[in-house]
Chain A
Amino acid sequence: MSAQARPRPRRRRQPSAARNMTYVLLVLTVILSAFPIYWTFVVASSTNDIIADVPPPLTPGGHLQENVRAVFDNDSANFAKALVNTAIVSAVVSISVLVFSSLAGFAFAKMHFRGRNLALLLVIASLSIPMQLGVIPLYILMGKIGWNGDLKAVIVPFLVSAFGVFYMRQAISEAVPDELLDAGRIDGCGTLRLWANVVVPAVRPAAAVLGLFTFMMTWNDFLWPLVTLTPEDPTVQVSLATLASGYYQDYSLVLAGTALATVPLLVLFFVAGRQLIAGIMEGAVKG
């Protein structure tokens, strides 16, 4: 009761010790988050001798260039090819997921048709089934059509995504007003024109998040590419596994490769991290 006598300051001002503690803990967390990445660059820019020092070095050395060159020159890793392959695969998959998800999401969000609820239920049910568990039949299937070892094997099965469809359905039902669609229809727009001229512009922010997620997930995919691709024509992650398997003691080489594989993602993260965070948090509230 006595607290109610002076209601103003109690919500806003915390004891400053607790407040400082908050910042200390958060800064520590950020340091812990960033350290392994920082460490990757420390090792990637040092020689193996320096890493073996006690105490270990905590600042980058001057050997990044030669280590990077060693990664690209490594005969079994095929790293340059892997980078190109991964860029192609991630880009194609992301664009395709965006197109197909927004088309299907459009139908689910704004059209009534028979079987809609059942179809949507199927999408939701398949959301959490990990594709990983299907690697064996997929491998047999790819063997039959001759795609094992081919980039098609890591592209085609991922051209659509249940998560994408679900996500775009949510986004479209919120961001696209029915009146706008009606107006477009009166102007004589067909379904595809409505999609291109009304739906896509309205959900651009959500689409950016989905594209980002998909790109990162594809870039990072590990098990299936490892199974189906060969070290001669790999993705980056497969190439990393080759490096790590063959040269385990050569840390500066392996971590230089790791750093190279991570840089594109870091760049994306610093450019679009805000949107990514907004996407995760909105998705969490919507469930």
Chain B
Amino acid sequence: MSVTHRTPGGRRARGAPLTPRTAPYLLIAPFFVLFAIFGVFPLFYTGWVSLHDWDLISSGPHEFVGLENYRTLADDPDFRNAIVNTLGIFVLATVPQILIALGLAALLNQTLRARTFFRMGVLLPNVTSIAAVSIVFSQLFGREYGLVNYVLSLVGIDPVNWQAHKWSSWIAIATMVDWRWTGYNTLILLAAMQAIPSELYDAAKVDGATGFRAFRSVTVPMLRYTIMFVVVVATIGGIQLFAEPLLFDTSPASANGGAGREFQTIALYLYQTAFRSFDFGYAAAISWLLFLLVLLIAGLNALMVRRLGRGVR
């Protein structure tokens, strides 16, 4: 049954331009018009800008330079550094995050008292703003008066200058990411866990697998698509990691990601190139590369969503 089916007597809606034939197109038109202007157009325009020597300072015509920006990019040590930083932070953030989320989801997947309280408790960090999280954690990780260094001093560890090294700044930023996202992913995994038929656990029990072994041999394999989905979303989030490294810096205005670019991520480098150096052509080349990367991941994602959908329906 659908709206396009003839109404009795083929009668048209009163006076409206929304005939059954045109109605669906008019209903989806606002989305597609705005999407074309602010979604599709920027995608291709980025590619076009990336082929030019395009800066915002000189107002003359932008010189067409072909693939020059991409060649520069291939030899750019700062870009390479940004890739390494992004990957490093991504791994440091994602691996513990998924392990913790799995564990928490398993804990929550029992008959518990105060169920809603615990669920809200884990989700709480996710509703705070990224800027707020970055600012608060930068304070917590402060060298002089930071609470983290204070706690470390209690067990005899000297104060760490968290911004000064790659490893320490990566840990700090990964902590921010995990604090904000672990609870959200816990709920996603919990939902998937609850969808696992209990017969599987009964069968496992017959085979002698209970507790942690059942978790490993039933729960985790059944969650593999959900876990992949979470990883994909985390990857796309990782590519965009921006506010945390920007605000973690002791001089955020520079967008340098640490005095020696210790934690400058790709997105931060992109921002710096475009809005500090005003080199739009070059920044567009970075964007375009990232676009391709994200498209690739998004394609993977779409495939998986379809698979997941088929599995659950």
- Taking beta carbons and an 8 Å cutoff, which residues of A are in contact with B? 3, 12, 14, 22-23, 25-26, 29-30, 32-34, 36-37, 39-40, 43, 51-52, 54-56, 100-101, 103-104, 106-108, 110-113, 116, 119, 122-141, 156-157, 159-160, 162, 165, 178-179, 181-182, 185-186, 188-194, 216, 219-220, 222-223, 227, 236-237, 240-241, 244-245, 248, 251, 254-255, 258, 261-262, 265-266, 268-269, 273-274, 276-277, 280-282, 284-287
Contacts and interface: CB of A to CB of B under 8 A. Distances in A.
Interface string B285-313: 00100110011011101100100110010
A9 to B, nearest CB: 14
Contacts of B13: 188-193
B1 A178 contact: yes
10 closest residue pairs by CB, A with B = A190-B13, A30-B121, A134-B42, A287-B308, A178-B1, A157-B38, A281-B191, A137-B45, A137-B42, A107-B27
B82 to A, nearest CB: 14
26 contacts: A30-B118, A30-B122, A33-B125, A34-B124, A36-B136, A36-B179, A52-B144, A52-B145, A104-B27, A113-B4, A127-B302, A130-B236, A132-B242, A133-B287, A136-B283, A137-B45, A137-B284, A156-B34, A190-B13, A191-B23, A220-B130, A241-B252, A251-B145, A254-B135, A269-B123, A287-B308
B95 interface: no
Interface centre among B107, B135, B195, B305 (most CB of A within 10 A): B135
Nearest to A30: B121
B46 A136 contact: yes
Contacts of B240: 130, 132-133, 223
B226 A136 contact: no
Contact of A43 (B43, B110, B139, B308): B139
Contacts of B123: 269, 273, 276-277, 280
A107 B139 contact: no
Contacts, number: 321
A191 B267 CA distance: 44
Contacts of A286: 309, 312
Given A248-B250, A258-B132, A258-B135, A129 B295 contact: yes
Contact of B43 (A32, A134, A135, A185): A134
Contacts of B46: 133-134, 136-137
Contacts of B284: 136-137
Given A134-B42, A286-B312, 15 more contacts: A26-B107, A36-B140, A104-B30, A111-B2, A126-B35, A136-B280, A138-B42, A141-B42, A162-B39, A178-B1, A223-B267, A251-B139, A280-B188, A284-B187, A285-B191
Contact of A181 (B3, B31, B184, B290): B3
Nearest to A132: B240
Given A140-B49, A222-B243, A265-B128, A287 B305 contact: yes
Contacts of A54: 150
B4 A111 contact: yes
B121 A34 contact: yes
Given A113-B24, A134-B46, A124 B305 contact: yes
Range class of the B interface residue count? 35 or more
A25 B107 contact: yes
Contacts of A116: 24
Contacts of A110: 2-3
Contacts of A33: 121-122, 124-125, 179, 183
A39 B151 CA distance: 14
Contacts of B250: 248
Contacts of A281: 187-188, 190-191, 194
A69 B60 CA distance: 47
Majority SS at the chain B contact face: helix
A278 to B, nearest CB: 10
B65 interface: no
B120 A36 contact: no
Nearest to A161: B31
Contacts of A188: 11, 13-14
Interface in B242-300: 242-243, 246-247, 250-253, 267, 271, 274-275, 280, 283-284, 287, 290-291, 294-295, 297-299
Given A191-B13, A280-B184, A125 B302 contact: yes
B39 A222 contact: no
Contacts of B275: 227
B32 interface: yes
B93 interface: no
B233 to A, nearest CB: 8
A241 B129 CA distance: 12
Contact of A56 (B120, B147, B274): B147
Contacts of B11: 188
Given A33-B183, A134-B43, A140-B280, A160 B31 contact: yes
B74 interface: no
A100 B30 contact: yes
B192 interface: yes
A284 B7 CA distance: 37
Contacts of B45: 137, 140-141
